[in-house]
Structure 1
Amino acid sequence: MTNRNKKLLSIAVPVYNEAANVEPLLQRLTSVLNDLDGYDYEIVFTDNASVDETFEKLTFIARDNPRVRVIRFSRNFGFQLSILANYLETRGDAAIQIDADLQDPPELIPEMVRLWEQGNKVVYGIRRKRVEGLPSRLARSLGYRVISALSEVDTPRDAGDFRLIDRDVIEALRSTNDHSPYLRGLIASFGFTQTGIHYDREGRKRGFSKFDAFSLVRLGLDGVISQSTKPLEFITFFGFLVSTLSAIGALIYVFMYLIGASGQEGFTTIVLLVLVTQGFNMAFMGMIGEYVGRIYKNSRTLPVPIIEYRIEHPDAPRRISNASLEKRP
């Protein structure tokens, strides 16, 4: 039951094929949250159409535990949309997103809450180090810095999705319409007061990562395209530069022809220049296509993601300060 004298914290957990991690995660979360004086809490799982026993396990838990709510999508809509949908389904005065694999420590939640109570609307975790190979660490570090350099807002570096956001931020997210969101940048773009906490990210102990190399590249593209038009500006600048150099080259060629100077044939050089130019053209067309594709997706009126099942106990806690806004049973 809801305690009328306590603020409500929502723990947002997106899951996909995490059956082995559900119970260990709940044990660590409840251990931390039960010791957090002055707060009530709920744990909201969004299941991205898992194909293992994740949903079955969560359903069994939610039917007996009023603090656990489960939402299952009709298909896998992607990690970022799963997080966004989870935020919008939470009922708390603040929501804390944490992955189910326990690489991010639940024991950091009390410190996040303390910084939130000091007036920060966003408290995010900064990964001081992580358990992975050197090539992966270098690629991630480079990706964060490229996104930060191209972004038109101050996007936190080395910060993942382990964060606390205030109810005001959640309501701002509710007003957005982005079918390919990059939440780290989107939340930063709102301009709310934010701060970070450094921590060491643990290695995964159960299951395996669902983020392959393609998924990471896709996330990086979303991070750049959703936050900036600088790539389009670069394409325009490059186009003007190549056009200018081509015009200068043409004038030089005409001048040499008029004075009767003999030039080198340079067939190989010409072929290589054509191939390189075509390569750039294809890359730039692909980049422009990414922007056009996002416009197409966001112009569609389909609900994304589509929720197929909701499982929750009738005594699930609700936020007192804004209970009238509740529109879901």
Structure 2
Amino acid sequence: MSKLISIVTPCYNEEGNIEELHARVAAVMATLPYDYEHICIDNCSTDGTVAKLRKLASEDPRLKVIINARNFGHIKSPYHAILQANGDACVLIASDLQDPPEMIAEFVKKWEEGFKTVLAVKPESEESKLMFLARRAYYRLISRISEVPLIQNATGAGLFDRAVLDILRSIQDPYPYFRGLLCEIGFPIATVPFRQPRRTRGITKNNFYTLYDIGMLGITNHSKMPLRIMAMAGFALAILSLIAAFGFLIAKLLFWNEFQLGMAPILIGIFFFGAVQCFFIGVLGEYVASIHTQVRKMPLVVEAERINF
């Protein structure tokens, strides 16, 4: 009996890409000696994506569809679909075609070589240079401060063996930084480099908030370094303030009539320390929010409907 591979593609307002995605996945899997299931999870699209998924599922029993009751975000929805996979391996690939489905064959090849985790990485990209450089800078930062080695420039697409899926199910993380979680598990990770193409149809669903959300999630889930920097910086600023206070005291005693402090240093000091406090409180708040998410034990998503399961 041939092994089963689960292909998972999260969808949100991708009516222009879903038919091509389905066709390209089917074409790739036709070249491989494995059976497969294709799981599409729709995160409450507002366009015609669900209608097209229903039509495709009626024609192809391998295509399974999960329709969420509402939009549960770009982190929880794909993760939930991965946990529903029944295959001996699961492939996660974006529905916007910026992760070419043809990479599935390369993922499977690495899996056959014995790797339990395979990740796509993009050392080059056709996206805007400013965004690409910002992403690279972030990956370098998080790699330096993380408590586990992370794969730089990983897109999130890749292949995960059933052993990895079983571990993910046992962790029960309600809001995971998925790329970091895979590295934390500890299995050797193979990489498949590719040049990421531009989106040809539709618009990106990422904005500043979603990018900030996943960026902070990677930091709070995998590093205590910001908290320790806050403690050390507070100590250093306290010493600096004490030295400055003694300096002003000595200057005033030596030059009582000539030395005038004025308002400028006072105002600058107030604004500086106020800004530092707001920054530190914000970082601390991110960690508290992460803890709050964990202790609520909310489900990853609530499903409105399943098709072909």
**Shorter-chain-normalised TM-score: which range?**
over 0.9
Aligned-pair CA distance for 1:263: 3.3
Partner of 1:127: 122
Partner of 1:150: 145
Partner of 2:21: 25
TM-score normalised over the length of structure 1: 0.89
Aligned-pair CA distance for 1:210: 0.4
Quick check: 1:161 aligned with 2:156? yes
Alignment equivalent of 1:221, drawn from 213, 216, 219: 216
Query: What are the equivalent positions in structure 2 for 1:1-329 lying under 5 Å apart?
Result: 5-37=1-33, 39-259=34-254, 263-312=259-308
TM-score normalised over the length of structure 2: 0.95
Post-superposition Cα deviations, 1:211-252, rounded to whole Å, max 9, x if no partner, equal 012211221111111111111111111111111112222333
How far apart in 1 are the matches of 2:242 and 2:85?
59
How far apart in 2 are the matches of 1:177 and 1:165?
17
Higher relative contact order (CA 8 A, sep 6+): 1
Partner of 1:323: none
* RMSD value, Cα: 1.5
How far apart in 2 are the matches of 1:283 and 1:21?
41
For the 8 Å contact 1:129–1:199, the answer to whether it is kept is yes
Q: Secondary structure at the residue paired with 1:226?
A: helix
How far apart in 2 are the matches of 1:165 and 1:178?
17
For the 8 Å contact 1:119–1:193, the answer to whether it is kept is no
For the 8 Å contact 1:177–1:298, the answer to whether it is kept is no
Q: Secondary structure at the residue paired with 2:102?
A: helix
Alignment coverage as a number of residue pairs:
308
Q: Secondary structure at the residue paired with 2:222?
A: coil
Aligned-pair CA distance for 1:68: 0.7
Sequence identity (%): 37
Post-superposition Cα deviations, 1:128-151, rounded to whole Å, max 9, x if no partner, equal 211122211111111111221221
For the 8 Å contact 1:123–1:194, the answer to whether it is kept is yes
How far apart in 1 are the matches of 2:127 and 2:293?
34
Q: Secondary structure at the residue paired with 1:106?
A: coil
For the 8 Å contact 2:75–2:176, the answer to whether it is kept is yes
Post-superposition Cα deviations, 1:277-324, rounded to whole Å, max 9, x if no partner, equal 1111111101111111111111113322111211116xxxxxxxxxxx
- Worse-superposed segment, 185-194 or 211-220: 211-220
Corresponding letter in the other structure for 1:163: G
For the 8 Å contact 1:122–1:164, the answer to whether it is kept is yes
Partner of 1:322: none
- Worse-superposed segment, 245-254 or 69-78: 245-254
Corresponding letter in the other structure for 2:95: A
Post-superposition Cα deviations, 1:86-118, rounded to whole Å, max 9, x if no partner, equal 110110011111001111111121121111111
How far apart in 1 are the matches of 2:71 and 2:12?
8
For the 8 Å contact 2:174–2:297, the answer to whether it is kept is no
Corresponding letter in the other structure for 1:269: P
How far apart in 1 are the matches of 2:86 and 2:140?
34
How far apart in 2 are the matches of 1:308 and 1:178?
22
Corresponding letter in the other structure for 1:64: E
Aligned-pair CA distance for 1:274: 1.5
How far apart in 1 are the matches of 2:214 and 2:255?
56
For the 8 Å contact 1:101–1:204, the answer to whether it is kept is yes
For the 8 Å contact 1:121–1:169, the answer to whether it is kept is yes
How far apart in 1 are the matches of 2:70 and 2:140?
32
- Worse-superposed segment, 225-234 or 251-260: 251-260
How far apart in 2 are the matches of 1:277 and 1:296?
28
For the 8 Å contact 2:77–2:300, the answer to whether it is kept is no
